[in-house]
């Protein structure tokens, strides 16, 4: 040992050193891959707008192998039913449990009065189940069936939104992230698409419909990202064309639709917004859709539930019922809501 | 357009394509960085074992600027108090809100009967607060003060564990992740360190103390990782030496302790396990410590709470008190526990 000098560590020295908690995001990343992901997507809109085809195109799976199509007669009196398809898909080691919630029959009847109700009820039921589960004793392995996003299909033939579209979106916009899409856009010229989008955006504004809002860009994002973000916001409603058919265009095999006058390429951004929609839904905003569902829609549902319980008790009290009846009522309500009926007095 | 052939997309084609949900872990990564992290570390063990120095060494901050040391007389009758220091630190753009919970006075009195109690109470209080907050109406901005890890300092002078060590760890092992460290290891030769570690590990086993268990390696991890993991498990209790002083050793400036017979280098793995402890605590297992706290210790506390509530009601009922009294009791209990006293009947 030649020379040893002892000094107090100064701030400059400390700044140079590295503790290592910068690895925290990587620890989270690693854990999330191990655990796997889930996502629940709802599709809604009248029959024949290509909902199933679009979903299959988006996730490159065949989710509707066993689908039975109803004829016109069967559909006249049909009530809206909710169906659920789940697939486990994997990509680059990342596992996703994808659930598609479909609403066959929506808007198909002659009288579509309140036909959004079964859909709203379904969403509420998932929230209720989750509220029960997360208030229960054992919270391991809770199955989370909350709906993270609803793709709402708007007909390309309507002059803007139809009354049913407005009614549906207004009934559901506080329960789920609504992403409107302009279906079967290959029936519209680029000018028509542009005009229709502007009209629909104006109507959404006018009717006070709160569709899913893309989170604002941070000021520190680069210009490219900001431009992409702006373009995304201007694309609403996404004009989409679905196809599960591969055709050959200019020597390349692409998914598309073969017409006598040309080939519509699904993934060509000059033809439609399919790629933009997929990028948003899957590659950039999927986690945000889940977070907004959890932090906003579910929290609203939960707060509403607790407040109703409280209100009911207060109301009962004001009626000057005897104390024990009030308490019994409140307590049973709480047990039914939260624990199921585990505790029986 | 030359030739167009229309074919059904086959499975092979689909596999080649890329949906994009493989970006989900990156979306989570990005969001976690934006949100920032927090971590609460408790240090426990008798005075003079270098707890504060080690914490400062670990996180390269001065957390104890205002500390007032008590003299022997003041310490005789001293009760254990709990102090909390919080610092916001940042590294490579990752923000960490670090809270250190200290237990000055622990084991310092002449009679240390149940001196672990204030520590256990503190941990329970944080759980209770969190239980209340997460059961409440507004769950935005919940402050999470749950203790994620407790570094328990074992004296290098004991022959293995002392009775107080056993008592402390057994009282707390179901509430918090205990990581035992062998303090001031520069008073022990390598052979002594090895022997003492084996002895302490045997005693931990013998007394049924459940210290923090490193999660098992996945079978798909590489050999290097598995070796590191094995070494980590063999290092318990980590033999540590702390120092906030920079000394010059062989021309390099290192944190260490300057003795007439040589320099103890804190970050030299031939001298002590400081680097191993820091790697475990900060770089590899910090997120797991948080997850185990949340999924295991907190869930146990919560289940215990709900079960006590239920038991109390059943007990009251068995005493054949009248119904309204039972319900009043249960309902008030629930309100006190969960909502504070927001609803008053």
The pLDDT score that the predictor gives to residue A306 is: 85
- Partner residue facing B299 (CB), from A1, A139, A279: A139
- Partner residue facing A247 (CB), from B6, B282, B328: B6
Tokens of A330: 């409140």
Return the residue of A nearest to B275 by Cα: A19
What residues of A are in contact with residue B306 (Cβ under 8 Å)? 137
pLDDT tens, residue order, chain B (345 aa): 333 333 343 333 333 467 888 999 999 999 999 999 999 999 999 888 889 889 988 888 766 666 666 666 665 555 567 889 898 988 899 999 999 999 887 777 677 778 889 999 999 999 999 998 998 888 988 999 999 999 999 999 988 899 999 999 999 999 999 999 999 998 889 999 999 999 999 999 999 999 999 988 776 777 887 888 888 888 999 999 988 888 887 888 888 888 888 889 888 889 999 999 999 999 889 999 999 999 999 999 999 988 887 777 677 666 655 555 555 555 555 555 555 434 433
Domain membership of residue A21 (yes or no) is no
What residues of B are in contact with residue A13 (Cβ under 8 Å)? 246, 253
Under an 8 A CB cutoff, do A345 and B327 touch? yes
Instruction: Return the H-helix or E-strand segment holding B136.
Output: none
Q: Does A187 touch chain B (CB under 8 A)?
A: no
Task: Give the minimum alpha-carbon distance from B106 to chain A in angstroms, rounded to a whole number.
Answer: 28
Domain membership of residue B251 (yes or no) is yes
Spans in chain A with pLDDT lower than 70: 1-17, 62-80, 109, 219, 313, 316-345
Under an 8 A CB cutoff, do A218 and B13 touch? no
C-alpha closest to that of A105 among A18, A164, A58:
A164
Regarding whether B177 and B115 lie in a shared domain, the answer is: yes
Length of chain A: 345
Pairing state between β A6-8 and B245-249: antiparallel
Tokens of B323: 């119904």
Give the Cα-Cα-Cα angle B142, B148, B153 (nearest 5 degrees): 145
- Partner residue facing A6 (CB), from B29, B218, B245: B245
Q: Does B344 touch chain A (CB under 8 A)?
A: no
Task: Give the minimum alpha-carbon distance from B234 to chain A in angstroms, rounded to a whole number.
Answer: 22
Cα→Cα distances A317→A304, A324, A329, Å: 20, 11, 11
- The H-assigned helical ranges of B21-146 are 24-35, 51-59, 72-76, 117-135
Q: Each residue of B12-48: b (16+ CB within 10 Å) or e?
A: eebeeeebbbbbbbbbbbbebbeeebbbbbbbbbbbe
- Give the full edge-to-edge strand order of the sheet including B37-44: B83-91, B94-102, B37-44, B149-154, B178-182, B238-239
C-alpha closest to that of A306 among B140, B336, B136:
B136
Interface size between A and B, measured as CB pairs under 8 A: 221
Return the residue of A nearest to B322 by Cα: A324
Under an 8 A CB cutoff, do B331 and A327 touch? yes
Regarding whether A318 and A213 lie in a shared domain, the answer is: no
CA-based radius of gyration for chain A: 26
Cα→Cα distances B137→A317, A332, B51, B309, Å: 21, 20, 39, 20
**HSE (CB half, 13 Å, CA atoms) of B210?**
9
A-interface mutation test, from B10, B97, B327, most A Cβ less than 10 A away: B327
CA-based radius of gyration for chain B: 26
SS (H, E, C) chain A: CCCCCEEECCHHHHHHCCCCHHHHHHHHHHHHHHHCEEEEEEEECCCCCCHHHHHHHHHCCCCCCCCCCCCHHHHHCCCCCCEEEEEEEEECCEEEEEEEEECCCCCCCCCCCCCCHHHHHHHHHHHHHHHHHHHCCCCCCCCCCCCCEEEEEECCCCCCCCHHHHHHHHHHCCCCCEEEEECCHHHCCHHHHHHHHHHHHHHHHHCCCCCCCCCCCCCCCCHHHHHHHHHHHHCCCEECCCCCEEEEECCEEEEEEEECCEEEECCCCCCCCHHHHHHHHHHHCHHHHHHHHHHHHHHHHHHHHHHHHHHHHHHHHHCCCCHHHHHHHHHHHHHHHHHCCCCCC
Q: Does B65 touch chain A (CB under 8 A)?
A: no
Regarding whether A218 and A88 lie in a shared domain, the answer is: yes
Domain membership of residue B2 (yes or no) is no
Q: Which residue is listed with tokens 């009962």?
A: A316
Q: In angstroms, rounded to a whole number, what is the distance separating the alpha carbons of residues A9 and B255? A: 8
Domain membership of residue B1 (yes or no) is no
What residues of A are in contact with residue B139 (Cβ under 8 Å)? 299
- Partner residue facing A4 (CB), from B258, B326, B330: B258
Handedness of CA A57, A63, A67, A71 (dihedral sign): negative
Domain membership of residue B8 (yes or no) is no
Domain region containing B29 = 24-300
Q: What is the CATH number of the domain that holds A267?
A: 3.40.50.300
Domain membership of residue B14 (yes or no) is no
Q: Does B340 touch chain A (CB under 8 A)?
A: no
Regarding whether B335 and B280 lie in a shared domain, the answer is: no
The pLDDT score that the predictor gives to residue B319 is: 63
Return the residue of B nearest to A251 by Cα: B3
Domain membership of residue B6 (yes or no) is no
Q: In angstroms, rounded to a whole number, what is the distance separating the alpha carbons of residues A311 and A314? A: 5
- Give the full edge-to-edge strand order of the sheet including A252-259: A262-265, A252-259, A245-249, B6-8
| ipTM of this complex prediction, to 2 decimal places | 0.80
Regarding whether A240 and A332 lie in a shared domain, the answer is: no
Q: Does A21 touch chain B (CB under 8 A)?
A: yes
Q: In angstroms, rounded to a whole number, what is the distance separating the alpha carbons of residues B276 and B267? A: 9
- Partner residue facing A21 (CB), from B250, B263, B282: B282
Chain-centroid distance of CA B212 in Å reads 9
Cα→Cα distances A266→A152, A258, A276, Å: 19, 11, 11
Regarding whether B274 and B127 lie in a shared domain, the answer is: yes
**HSE (CB half, 13 Å, CA atoms) of A100?**
22
Q: Which residue is listed with tokens 């889930």?
A: A38
- Partner residue facing A255 (CB), from B9, B28, B285: B9
Q: Does B310 touch chain A (CB under 8 A)?
A: yes
Tokens of A273: 């917004």
Regarding whether B316 and B249 lie in a shared domain, the answer is: no
Domain membership of residue A8 (yes or no) is no
Under an 8 A CB cutoff, do B303 and A138 touch? yes
Q: Does A324 touch chain B (CB under 8 A)?
A: yes
Regarding whether A206 and A189 lie in a shared domain, the answer is: yes
Q: Which residue is listed with tokens 């309140």?
A: A114
* Structural contact between residues A72 and A84, judged by C-beta atoms closer than 8 angstroms: no
Regarding whether A156 and A207 lie in a shared domain, the answer is: yes
Under an 8 A CB cutoff, do A258 and B4 touch? yes
Give the 3-state secondary structure of residue B24.
Answer: helix
Regarding whether B181 and B69 lie in a shared domain, the answer is: yes
Under an 8 A CB cutoff, do B345 and A323 touch? yes
Q: Which residue is listed with tokens 């993270």?
A: A148
Regarding whether A294 and A335 lie in a shared domain, the answer is: no
Residue B92 burial by CB count (10 A; 0-12/13-18/19+): exposed, middle or buried? exposed
Regarding whether B332 and B266 lie in a shared domain, the answer is: no
The pLDDT score that the predictor gives to residue B335 is: 56
Q: Does A296 touch chain B (CB under 8 A)?
A: no
**HSE (CB half, 13 Å, CA atoms) of B344?**
1
C-alpha closest to that of A238 among A154, A166, A169:
A154
B-interface mutation test, from A325, A327, A331, A344, most B Cβ less than 10 A away: A327
C-alpha closest to that of B239 among B205, B190, B281, B176:
B190
What residues of B are in contact with residue A22 (Cβ under 8 Å)? 91-94
Query: How many CB atoms within 10 Å of residue A238?
Result: 24
What residues of A are in contact with residue B18 (Cβ under 8 Å)? 91
**pLDDT digits over A67-121, tens only?**
666 666 665 555 568 889 898 988 899 999 999 999 887 777 677 778 889 999 9
Tell me how many domains chain A contains. Answer: 2
Under an 8 A CB cutoff, do B89 and A21 touch? yes
Task: Give the minimum alpha-carbon distance from A37 to chain B in angstroms, rounded to a whole number.
Answer: 8
* Structural contact between residues A83 and A99, judged by C-beta atoms closer than 8 angstroms: no
Q: Does A228 touch chain B (CB under 8 A)?
A: no
């Amino acid at each position: 040992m030649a020379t040893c000098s002892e000094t107090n560590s100064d701030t400059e020295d400390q700044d140079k050193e590295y503790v290592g908690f910068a690895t925290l995001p990587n620890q989270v990343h690693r854990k999330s891959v191990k655990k796997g992901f889930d996502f629940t997507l709802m599709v809604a809109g009248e029959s024949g707008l290509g909902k199933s085809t679009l979903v299959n195109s988006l996730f490159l799976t065949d989710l509707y192998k066993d689908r039975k199509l109803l004829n016109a007669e069967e559909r006249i009196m049909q009530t809206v039913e909710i169906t659920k398809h789940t697939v486990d898909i994997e990509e680059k080691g990342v596992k996703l449990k994808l659930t598609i919630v479909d609403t066959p029959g929506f808007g198909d009847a002659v009288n579509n009065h309140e036909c959004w109700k079964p859909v709203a009820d379904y969403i509420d039921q998932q929230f209720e189940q989750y509220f029960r589960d997360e208030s229960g004793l054992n919270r391991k392995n809770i199955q989370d069936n909350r709906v993270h996003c609803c793709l709402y299909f708007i007909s390309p033939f309507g002059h803007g939104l139809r009354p049913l579209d407005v009614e549906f979106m207004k009934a559901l916009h506080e329960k789920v992230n609504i992403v409107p899409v302009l279906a079967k856009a290959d029936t519209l010229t680029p000018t028509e698409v542009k005009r229709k989008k502007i009209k629909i955006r104006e109507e959404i504004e006018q009717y006070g419909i709160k569709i899913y809002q893309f989170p604002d860009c941070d000021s520190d994002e680069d210009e490219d990202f900001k431009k992409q973000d702006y373009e995304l916001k201007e694309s609403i409603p996404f004009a989409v064309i679905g196809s599960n058919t591969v055709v050959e265009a200019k020597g390349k095999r692409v998914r598309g639709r073969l017409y006598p006058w040309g080939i519509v390429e699904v993934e060509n951004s000059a033809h439609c917004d399919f790629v933009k929609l997929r990028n948003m839904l899957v590659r950039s905003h999927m986690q945000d859709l889940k977070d907004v569902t959890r932090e906003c829609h579910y929290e609203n549902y939960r707060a509403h539930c607790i407040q109703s319980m409280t209100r009911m008790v207060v109301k009962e009290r004001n009626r000057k019922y005897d104390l024990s009846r009030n308490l019994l009522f409140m307590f049973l309500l709480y047990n039914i809501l939260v624990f199921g009926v585990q505790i029986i007095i």
